[in-house]
Structure 1
Amino acid sequence: MEEPTPTATGPVDLSALGSLLSAKWKTEVNPKKSAAKPAAAPPSKPEELKPGQIRSFKIATLDAAAKKITLELA
């Protein structure tokens, strides 16, 4: 039987680990997909808003007297 290799007890080189993770992150997950696939064109009109969606917006106006906030989609 093979003996297990001893594990290092010294300091860990985090820069090498960071490089490995960065390289793995940038590689394609599914090799069957084409890397030269063109980006999808943005839709001509924004998607319909649905309850529970998370959206980016900015506050357009505040009406303190009427307690009303008008929003614009970002």
Structure 2
Amino acid sequence: MSGYIPDEMLQRQWLKDQELCLWEPGLQAKPPGPIIKFWAGFMEPKSLPFGSVELKPKLFPGYTILE
């Protein structure tokens, strides 16, 4: 038995019809909500004062502390 049964032909045609062509408009993206906006900008350097953290110098055995 060669070929497709009618149901398979309908399924294949339906799937082919679901593909968007280049000239068809796609779904427009929803604007991001406040939580998504927050997390999107959370790690940007301008959003947090990264330079304000001061690290203590490392101490190794044998170092003398002068005050």
Q: Would you call these one fold, judging by a TM-score over 0.5? A: no
Asked which structure has the greater CA Rg, the reply is 2
- Structure with greater helix percent: 2
- Structure with greater strand percent: 1
- Tell me the TM-score normalized by structure 2: 0.29
- Tell me the TM-score normalized by structure 1: 0.27
